[in-house]
Amino acid sequence: MNAPSICAVPPAAYTELLDYLRQSGSTLSPAEAIVSALKQWIAAGRTLAAPVRGYQWKCLFLPEATRVRMKYRDDYHHAEVVGDELIFRGKAVSPRQMTMEIAGDGRNAWRDLWLRLPGERNWANAALLRAKLERQAALPQPSPATAMTAAVKTMSDALNAALMLIEHVDHQTKTMSERRLPKHRRADDTLTDDH
């Protein structure tokens, strides 16, 4: 199959990609980043049917490949979610068991454990993630009628904007005069047909 070797990328998306590569300190060229993104997108599409695996820690779900870290006496101890289990020192443990193995009794796993979810660059404290999740759950969910009303208003605004644009273009075309017509030319600008 002969695929075209050049694909058009919208300028706004390309600029956004360049900004992201610069800000993230990536060493990838834009072309390499696009190829990598396409490969990841294709791979993600192939695995959509696969069940999501991970460890359920009370209200917080830790997807597979989540890294778990705890600092104790200037040492970092790491665990990882593999399949549906949290693996620490080669065995499946709970977050509480991990903190007890590291520091003994009297530790709060929510406070002491830091998580790096797949695709994230930074570590986040488990207690802060749980609090954020609880705040989101406490927010009132819009009723279907409210959502429909908002959608109708947005569609109405879009239609009104389109109508205004059409009226503006129509007005411009009606009032625009042809500048090349003789009545709009100065006498000095007209050329004679003398040969």
Q: Is pLDDT at 152 greater than 90 in this prediction?
A: no
Q: Of 7-21, 46-60, 89-103, 142-156, which has the strongest mean pLDDT?
A: 89-103
Lowest mean pLDDT among 38-52, 81-95, 118-132: 38-52
Q: Confidence band (pLDDT; 50, 70, 90) for 6?
A: low
Whole-number Å distance between alpha carbons of 103 and 138: 34
Higher-confidence residue of 97 and 163: namely: 97
DSSP-based three-state secondary structure for 153: helix
**pLDDT of 45:** 75
Higher-confidence residue of 155 and 9: namely: 155
Whole-number Å distance between alpha carbons of 15 and 172: 33
Q: 53 is written with which tokens?
A: 């695996």
Q: What values do phi and psi take at 50, rounded to 5?
A: -70, 140
**pLDDT of 56:** 94
Q: How many CA atoms lie within 13 A of 68 on its CB side?
A: 33
Write the DSSP assignment of 70-112 as a string of letters.
Answer: EEETTEEEEEEEETTEEEETTEEE-HHHHHHHHH-SS--HHHH
Higher-confidence residue of 47 and 158: namely: 158
Residue for token pair 């999740």: 133
CB 61 within 8 A of CB 51: no
pTM score of the predicted model: 0.50
Q: Is pLDDT at 19 greater than 60 in this prediction?
A: yes
Give the mean pLDDT of the chain. Answer: 84
Lowest mean pLDDT among 36-40, 66-70, 172-176, 178-182: 178-182
**pLDDT of 179:** 56
78-82: average pLDDT: 96
Higher-confidence residue of 73 and 160: namely: 73
**pLDDT of 131:** 94
**pLDDT of 41:** 82
Whole-number Å distance between alpha carbons of 86 and 65: 10
Q: pLDDT for 111-147, tens place per residue?
A: 999 999 998 999 999 999 999 999 988 888 878 888 8
